[in-house]
Amino acid sequence: MPFDVINQNEYILVKLQGECLGGESPNVGELLSKMVEETKLKFVIFQATECSAIGSSFLRDMTIGYKAIKALNGQTRFVGAKPSVNQSVVQNGLDRIFVPKMSLKGALVDFGLVKQKDFDVNVINPFLNATIKVLKIQCFIESKPGKPFMKKSTDPLLLGDVSGIIPIVSESFNGTLAISLSESIFCHIVKNMLGEECTAINEQNVDLVGELANMILGQAKVELGQLGYGIQMTIPSCVWGKDHKIKHFGGGMCVVMPFETEVGTFYSEVMTNNTVQEQKKVG
């Protein structure tokens, strides 16, 4: 069977796998209807991350289950689908019924089962791991993470001479990732990555730090996806100079992650859109 129907206590999860073309017996709609009637659960998530194709017949079967959900004034979400699979839903006129979402957490936020501003401290680990991996593979630099800490208003605005900044956009939290480097570390990275001698930050090489932020977010995106966070890739920017400032997207908690290398210490920051009250949960 290319699907599993699972009772998750607060909602029903329908996991789609491979080619979902229809013709199964019993079909997805019949099994879903039965579980809805037995549990009276009115929220249903179709997780399509592992679905490679979906046919009109299978979509019609899904609408059978939707009728049972609608009878309870319930809702459905269609999560993590490939563009081609989402397009099939749209072409069959069912995107208003099976509302597309990037992530499981985004769907749970829609249902009110997870608060929009809940902050999972475990999201910091993917950024730590991604930074270490990118520095090692792309920059040929070994780095050792120090203990992350929450940035206070009394702390320096910036901890480096050049910074790459990239927005973090997801359905359950938004924010910013910034990586700040001293000029000496930046020049070492330029030499390692481009094979060019570098003695100073300038207009010709400064964009490299934005690309570093982009690579770190791209690497973290994989691990964050496994935690249920669907992250969109965005466009990085860079700022430089002794007195430059990072303009974070969000007004909540800012976690600073220090990293030690053989050529000095650099820092990465993750700002979320959490409230001040929620910051206290992390410290």
At 219, which amino acid appears?
Q
Residue 116 confidence class, pLDDT cut points 50, 70, 90: low
φ/ψ of 14, rounded to 5, equals -110, 110
Tokens representing 61 are: 């079967």
Across the chain, what does the average pLDDT equal?
86
pLDDT tens string 55-113: 999 999 999 999 999 999 999 999 989 999 999 999 999 999 999 988 888 888 889 88
What domains does the chain contain, in order, with CATH numbers? 3-111 (3.30.750.24), 121-279 (3.40.1550.10)
Provide the percentage of residues in the chain whose pLDDT is more than 90.
Answer: 60
Output Rg (C-alpha) for the chain, integer angstroms: 23
Q: Are strands 75-79 and 99-101 parallel, antiparallel or unpaired?
A: parallel
What tens digit of pLDDT does each residue of 56-69 get? 999 999 999 999 99
**CB-CB contact of 65 with 33 (8 Å):** yes
Residue 275 clears pLDDT 50, i.e. is over it? no
Numbers of helices and strands, H then E, in the chain: 8, 12
174: confidence class by pLDDT, cuts 50, 70, 90 = confident
Contact 45, 13 (CB under 8 A): yes
